[in-house]
Chain A
Amino acid sequence: MKLVSIDKKDWEKGIERLRPRYRLFGPIREKTYHAFQRLDEGQLPDLAFANTRLSPKDIVFPQSKAILECSLDETKADHHIMKSIAGDDTPQLVLGIRPCDASALTLLDLNFNTDEVKDPYWIQAREKTTFFGLACDTPQSTCFCTSVGGGPFDEKGLDVLLVDADDRYLAKILTEKGAAAMQAAGWQDESDANALLERRRGAAEERIRSVVHTDRLKDIDILRLHGAPFWEDISFACINCGTCTYLCPTCWCFDIQDEVHQKTACRMKNWDSCMYPLFTHHTSGHNPRGTKLQRLRQRFMHKLKYFVDKHDAGIMCVGCGRCVHSCPVNIDIRHICNLMNQYSTEDACEAQG
């Protein structure tokens, strides 16, 4: 794994070299927050941010994406025959994704890219996208990546890891794709500052203050956790909005919807949320998760138990803290994870306040 030093004086020049080859995305400051956006001509990513308000998952998993279409005009030979809407193959490059958000992509891979079925839209978006991560020096009080198998300098899901080292960036090249982009940018000064990088890593990891415990989740029986009494207390405040799921870099659930525009039918893949009653509502009127307790429990059981049991890849959470920050009623996954992890039958008798 090659380490390259990028003098900050060469940063803009390199980005200009990348622009003709890649569709560039990066964090942009908007009023009081940062958001990942397509970088317009001459626009540079603003890397002075804690984390973006929304996760950048929509770059590879858009909130709303037209996937199939066909004509409904019966005079056309191929009417009513759905065809895939060919995706655009233009390579794209995301500058400055945080390691937590990048490692989330590897969790999404477990859903969208399996041995049995592959989502071609996901695969295409993943393949055409190169991720330059920005090692995190400014973790927030709600960050807990180090508890969930990640870290502020974590490399999972990245092609290049950038580390801000004052007057330069240290770029750790992690994949072929990353190497190609580095070459295209003309950033080629090899560096031996591994020790510096490791020092910064250690310092950043120490700055993570939130801790969650996940060690016992795997051993607790699904049905016992499912029937735990604490769900009533936790779910009381929940208003069943989709904020946590839409902001989450690892939430992947989606809906499929048809729309008709004049004589064209279009099938879309839209984000969906387990928080919504409609998510599981049967046509008959029956709803297996008809109460907010059931829906809130589904979200946390999925992330912290079902996923753990199914994939043996830790919990389905990268510790970015967005849901903690943005939940309108302060439902805190750290608290719930710890409650679940320490749950035992004795707790079942405890009176609920």
Chain B
Amino acid sequence: MLDFALWTSMALVVAALLLNVYRLAVGPDMPDRLLALDTMYVNSIALIVLMGLWLNTKTYFESALLIAMLGFISTVAVCKYLLRGDIIE
């Protein structure tokens, strides 16, 4: 049952990532693409967690933690760039 759930979940996350890619490619505007990228980051946390479950290891916990903590900073930087141009002012 767990295996099935794991694979289902993975399939869903994969599908989610593909949707992100779609939005990233299509746009139409910069914030759309940025949103797609940001979501991709978050979804990749899911991917890592699922991998940890699959391999039965906690080695990748920090990777997920780091994405959660730092992933949004790229988004913030691009937003700031679009808003103000100069991101450190």
Same complex origin of A and B: no
**A: which residues have CB within 8 A of B?**
none
